[in-house]
Amino acid sequence: MRPCTVGHVARQLGTGISTAEHLVERLAHLDLLVHAEKEQDQLNTIVAATVRGESFSMRCREALHLFGECMNEIP
């Protein structure tokens, strides 16, 4: 994941800024993301994945790929 803003996260998820900020806080607490606010402007808070977050993201993508393969085998 390339660094992006909380505003970008909110737009990608189709949520409001406060919801995206809450999600970012929870993921940061789990050491999956890091974030840094720019002058108390939540729209411009920069978010980036940690090494642990990148690893977790890769495992999720692999699991979704395997799930998709299984679903394709259902008649």
Question: Is there a contact between 9 and 20 (Cβ–Cβ < 8 Å)?
Answer: yes
> What's the confidence (pLDDT) of residue 38?
67
CA angle, 31 as apex, 34 and 47 as ends, to 5°?
20
> What's the confidence (pLDDT) of residue 41?
63
Report the distance separating Cα 70 and Cα 12, nearest Å.
27
Domains in the chain: ranges and CATH: 4-72 (1.10.10.10)
By three-state DSSP, how is residue 38 classified?
strand
Q: Radius of gyration (Cα) for the chain, nearest Å?
A: 15
Question: Is there a contact between 12 and 29 (Cβ–Cβ < 8 Å)?
Answer: no
pTM recorded for the entire structure: 0.74
> What's the confidence (pLDDT) of residue 63?
94
> What's the confidence (pLDDT) of residue 48?
93
- For the segment 51-74, what is each residue's pLDDT rounded down to a tens digit? 999 999 999 999 999 998 888 888
- For the segment 5-36, what is each residue's pLDDT rounded down to a tens digit? 988 999 999 999 999 999 999 999 999 999 88
